[in-house]
Each structure stands twice: as C-alpha cells, then as structure tokens.
Amino acid sequence: MTGEGTNWMTRLRGGLQKTRIQLSTNAGLLGRDLRGYGRNADLLDDLEAALLAADVGGPATADILSSVQSSRRADLMAALSDALIEQLEPKKATEAEDTSGLTPWFQPTVQPSPVQPAGHVVMIIGVNGVGKTTTIAKLGQHYMEHGQSVMFAAGDTFRAAAGAQLEVWGDRLGVPVIQGREGGDPAAVAFDGASSRRARGTDLLLVDTAGRLHNQTNLMQELNKVHRVIGKADAGEPAEVWMVLDAVTGQNGLQQAKKFNEAIPLTGVVVTKLDGTAKGGILIPIVRELGVPIKFIGVGEQAHDLQPFNAHEFVEALLAE
C-alpha cells in the first residue's frame, strides 16, 4: 500500500465518521465481534433502522437485509459489506462474493486510480451552493497530477463570482480559463472552450455551468443548449455530464439530481461534503435511482480530499472500527 493510498484511507475514515457513528448508535454493529453472529430478528431490525437513518432509503435497505439474510458468509459484517458493495457497484456484485469465510470482509486497499473520462469534455452541473466551481478546480488538479493537460470554461456567466473564482483557481494551477462577459450567453463560452480545447489539443476541458433553480425550465433549456453547442464545436462531445451533489442535502439533493437527469442525461455524480453529514448512505440511492456511477467523493476542503470513488474502499472505511 502506498503512502498516498494510506493517507487517503485515513482521510476517508475520518470523513465518514459521522455516518459510522450513526450506524453504531442505531445498530450497535461497530466495536463488536460479529463473526459467526446469527441473523436474529432483533439484530436485523436494528440494522434496518441504522440503514434508514443513514439515508440508504427503503428499497435499498430491504434489498440489503435480504442479501444479509441469504448470504452464505458466516461473518455478518462480511455479509453486510458484500451487500453494500453490491448496491454501490451492481455490475461487480459477483466479484465481492466469497463463500469460504476465510478471507477478510474488506478488499485490500489500493491507491486511487484516475477516472478517465470517455472523451475530452466534461460538463459539470448542479444547483448553486454545492461547490461546483471548487470541485472543478480539484478535478483539474487531480488530472494534472495524473499527467493530463486541462482547461476550464467559466460557463456560469450569471454569477459573476463563479467566473472570478474559476479564474483565480486557473491562475493558481496554471490552467487556461475561457471566460465570457458577465450575463452573457453561457453556450457561447462553452462553444469557445470546446473549440479552443480542440485547437490546442488539450486532454480535458471542464465546463462550469449555472445552477439557478428559481426558474427550473429555463435552466434546463440552457443546459441543453450548452450541451448541443459543445457538440457543434467538437463532434461527439461532451462525452460526460457529471452532477455535483452536496451529501448534506441527502434526499433533497437526490430529487434535484433526478430533475437534472431527466433534462440532460447524466454519466456520473461527484458527491461532496461527506464529512459534514451522518447520512453518507445517500450514495446508495444515488447509484440505484439515477443508474449512473459515483465518479468522485469529497471528504474535506483540501484538494486531495476529493478522490475517485471506490466502493470497496468506501465500505471498508464506513464499517471500520
């Protein structure tokens, strides 16, 4: 295990502390030796209450309990770990199974690997206040550290502070920032950004967008227009549309994400501020109900507190004593 990987797991465990305490308080699962512990009704009731309190949601909680009950694992914690990973990475569920009962319930931790976008342009969307602009800066730094060249497009032209903030981050990181005039057409900025990225041969363009919800119809139309004009400037782009969700908003944030997903199909979600909530289980209904993967998670304010999401690492950190 590398030093960087070790440090990330330490930060991840720290960032999930509130959710872990929530599980411990409601189910008493943590700090107890549950190897070989039977699946009695009282324990399962406590586990159900804990999962619901952590914002896992009713349908997913029912599936998790069913998986725990039917698991051939002798260790309840191993069965719970498998069930959680299955919800977070449904296609990889079979990889988590181990019927021998002899291996640890967690997977060995590895250094986070970069999430490589399918193309060259990623639209970053989400409501105001979730930290889109800061997240873009952190993503930019992440990809630069993994050898990628990066550009930003300040597409939130209606919030002057957003463009100024992104420009400050661009100066700090040495990243070119495509700007437009305040109150101007965000689609024009996105078009210029995509055209410039293509001309320069830059690996990745991250496009900031507005997140006003006071007039949702206009916002969704605007996002669709931005999406279309990027494709006119660079065929096949944007390859990705990632929504930034504040974990503290929980189910409210998920409902917002559903509205965005209806208007412009998402390819991934970035979940921030997991350190500020006891309801980190919200990641499960995000994957389940949106049908898209979690790309990155954030557990603090520092740049390296945003890392690629790994379901095994997440569950290991969540259930650690």
Q: What is the pLDDT of residue 125?
A: 95
Beta bridge partners of 268: 242
Report the alpha-carbon distance of residue 260 to residue 256 in Å, rounded.
Answer: 6
Tell me 91's DSSP state. G
**What domains are defined for the chain?**
3-96 (1.20.120.140), 121-311 (3.40.50.300)
- pLDDT (tens digit, 9 = 90+) per residue, 115-136? 889 999 999 999 888 889 999 9
- pLDDT (tens digit, 9 = 90+) per residue, 260-283? 998 899 999 999 999 999 899 999
**Which one, of 312, 269, 299, lies nearest residue 287 by Cα?**
269
SS3 4: helix
Q: Do the Cβ atoms of 178 and 196 come closer than 8 Å?
A: yes
66-70, 221-225, 317-321: the lowest-pLDDT one: 317-321
Tokens of 291: 């049908």
Q: pTM value?
A: 0.88
Q: What angle do CA 189, 273, 250 make, to 5 degrees?
A: 95
Residue 111: pLDDT band with limits 50, 70, 90: very low
Q: Do the Cβ atoms of 198 and 233 come closer than 8 Å?
A: yes
88-92, 146-150, 255-259: the lowest-pLDDT one: 88-92
SS3 72: coil
Q: Is the pLDDT of residue 101 over 80?
A: no
Q: Which residue ranges are tagged as binding site?
A: 126-133, 208-212, 272-275
Q: Which residue ranges are tagged as binding site for GTP?
A: 126-133, 208-212, 272-275
Distance from the Cα of residue 29 to its chain's centroid: 26
For residues 35 and 205, the model is more confident at: 205
Tell me the average pLDDT across 247-267.
90
Tell me the average pLDDT across 222-249.
95
- pLDDT (tens digit, 9 = 90+) per residue, 12-31? 999 999 998 888 776 555 54
**Which one, of 283, 1, 303, lies nearest residue 143 by Cα?**
303
Q: Is the pLDDT of residue 46 over 90?
A: no
Sequence-separated (6 or more) residues with CB below 8 Å from residue 262: none
Q: Is the pLDDT of residue 59 over 90?
A: yes
Q: What is the pLDDT of residue 319?
A: 87
Stretch (H or E) spanning 313: helix 311-319
Tell me the average pLDDT across 237-244.
96
The chain-wide mean pLDDT, for the chain, equals 84
